[in-house]
Amino acid sequence: MPIDPARFPADLRPGLAALAADMAAHGHARTDPTRAVMGLAGDRWSALILQVLMIGTWRHADLRRALSQLSAEQAISQRVLTLKLRALERDGFVLREASADVPPRVSYALTPLGRDLAGAVRSLIDWVNARAPAIEAARTAFDRREDG
């Protein structure tokens, strides 16, 4: 259902109309790349997976161990890691290579598109880190008002 800017305050209508047009052109549906990739980048594990894969090519067990040691959550299950890697592979961010050995040796690496995404995620992480004191101060002020 298209948005009706006339139902909103006049000063907000131009910006709202521009946002609606951008979303219509680039992705409004849940499966559109804009929404899907933003969801991936903001989920519990994918941003960390991308950052670890920036280091190089990883075998599944080594990647899982590194993620578990780096994460505050402490452990990622084999199933969740596999699902996240498959989602990243499906969107063209991760390359999965299996050797002809028996058993096959499977490794994961970023594609050029994945490196671009990981760089953008790194930029966002750096932005947050640079503003962490201001974010913490805002949280403290909010909590004081709410507990007031």
Alpha-carbon distance 77 to 60, whole Å?
11
User: Taking phi first (over 0 means left), then psi (-120 to 50 degrees means alpha), and beta for anything else, what does residue 56 get?
Assistant: left
User: How far is C-alpha 27 from the chain's CA centre?
Assistant: 17
Secondary structure class of 60 (helix, strand, coil): helix
How far apart (Å, rounded) are the C-alpha atoms in residues 128 and 93?
Answer: 23
Residue partners of 118: CB distance under 8 A and separation at least 6: 50, 51, 53, 54, 93, 110
Model confidence over 19-55: pLDDT tens digits? 888 888 887 788 888 888 888 888 889 999 999 999 9
Q: Could you say which DSSP state residue 103 is in?
A: S
Does the structure show a pLDDT above 90 at 142?
yes
Instruction: Tell me the whole-structure pTM to 2 decimals.
Output: 0.86
Which pLDDT does position 1 carry in this prediction? 58
